[in-house]
Every structure is written in C-alpha cells, then in structure tokens.
Structure 1
Amino acid sequence: MSKFSSFMKGKVKPAETVELKLDRFDEPIQLRALTAGEADEINAKCFVNKPGLKGKQERIFDVVKYNRGVCVSSIVYPDLNDAELQESYGVRGAENLYSEMFLLGEAALILDKVTEISGLDTSINDDIEEAKN
C-alpha cells in the first residue's frame, strides 16, 4: 500500500454542499466548494486586454467577473443553467441569470459563503494567533 493512500481519490471525503437561506426566496440555495482547478479556469477567463501607454496592450484582471464566476460555479441549486429559470427572468446564460436573480447584498452573502466553504476565509494571521494560544 502506498504511503500516500489517504490522498488517493477514492479515500478523500467529498466536499459537502451547504445551504444558504436568502430572505426573498422560500427555499435555500445550495453551494459547493470549488477546486483549485476550477478557480484557475475562472481566473484565466477574467483577464482583458486594454490599451495602455502609447497604445500598448495591457492585461487587466476583472475582479467583478472573477467573483461572479466563482459564485455562479458554486451554486448547485437552483440550476442557473436551467432554460425555464432563465426565461422567467428574461435572460440567457447562467451569469446573466445570477446578475438578475440576486440583489447586491445577496450576491455578497453568496460570495462570503463560497469563500468560507472553499477555505479562503482564514488568513495566515489567524493560524498564527491560534498557534500562540
């Protein structure tokens, strides 16, 4: 048996989905953590070329697009790719539906929860403080 057996895919515990209740909806939405690979794919799509000094192209990172992509990818329920749901809001595409469906505060709550369940809500300073105690 390999010394890495606890890291083999069959041994890893699956990430659980979590529910987030938003006041305007009768049912909670369900969210999942994203893998590093999924985050990398979203990240790669969030660079745009803009004219810079003397017309030279500069790559600019679109943070809003990244955060929206992370949130859309993490929503398990409701299915934002569902045509009927998109039609009810008069939009096409999961990201457009997300923008129409959720208020700004709700979108912030979703991002906070996704950050938390993906393990990005702690900093090294938190770990240092915990180690001191």
Structure 2
Amino acid sequence: MSRFKAFMKENVAEVELIELSLVRFNEPIKLRPVPSEEADLINDRCFKNIPGKKGRQERVFDPVGYNRRMNVASIVYPDLHDTELQQSYGVRGAEALYGKLFLAGEAALISEKVQQISGLDESLEDQIEEAKN
C-alpha cells in the first residue's frame, strides 16, 4: 500500500464548478479552477520577443493577455468555443468572444474569482504568515 494514498488520482476530490452571477445575464456563468500545468502553458504563450538594446531580442510578458487567457480557460459555461455564440457577437475565437461578451468590470470580477478558485489570490507573504500560525 502506498504511503501517498491520499494523493493518488482516484482519491482526490473532484473540483466543483463555481457559479458567478453577473447583473446583465439571467444565468450565472460557471468557472473551474485552472490546473497548474495549464496555467504554465498559458504563461509561456504570454511572452513576446521584441527588439531590445543592440538588436538583441527581449522577452516581455503580456499580463493582460495572461489574465484573459486564464479567464477563458476557466469559463465552462457559456461555452466560449461555441461557434453559434461567437457568430451572434460577430467574432471568431474564444478570446475574441470573451472581449465582446463581458464588460470591463465583469471581466475584472471574473478575473478575481478565477484567481481565487485557482489559488492565485494569496501572496507569498500571506502564505508565509499562514504557515507560521
């Protein structure tokens, strides 16, 4: 018997979807936490190479793109990949739909909730304080 039994995939609790109500919509949107592996891939895609000093390429991080991609990855309902929903807003692609579908304040609420449920809302200092107690 493994001493890591609690961490075996079959023993890990299923993650429940979180509902977030937004005033403009009659139904809540449903969010899932973004797993670390997926967040790492999103993070990697948010670096761009731009010309730097002396012709060298510099890698620059795009925080707006990162937040948008994290939010899109988290939204389960409505399905932002649905072509009918995209067509109703005159866009193609989940990220473009996200930009048209949600107002800036709604996007901020979504981002805050995604960070919270994905465990990204605590700073390192908060985690250190919690560990001390």
- Normalising by structure 1, we get a TM-score of 0.94
Post-superposition shift, 1:33?
Answer: 0.2
2:95 aligns to what SS in structure 1?
A: helix
Correspondence 1:1-133 to 2 at 5 A: 1-130=1-130
Post-superposition shift, 1:129?
Answer: 4.7
When the two chains are superposed, the root-mean-square deviation of aligned CA atoms in Å is 1.4
Q: Aligned partners of 2:33 and 2:23: how far apart in 1?
A: 22
Structure-2 change in CA distance of 1:128 and 1:61 (3 Å): closer
Q: Aligned partners of 1:4 and 1:58: how far apart in 2?
A: 43
Q: Aligned partners of 1:58 and 1:126: how far apart in 2?
A: 32
Structure-2 change in CA distance of 1:126 and 1:24 (3 Å): same
Count, aligned residues:
133
Q: Aligned partners of 2:53 and 2:129: how far apart in 1?
A: 44
Post-superposition shift, 1:120?
Answer: 1.6
Structure 2 residue runs of 5 or longer lacking an equivalent are none
Structure 1 residue runs of 5 or longer lacking an equivalent are none
2:19 aligns to what SS in structure 1?
A: strand
The AA in structure 1 aligned to 2:45 is K
1:59 aligns to what SS in structure 2?
A: strand
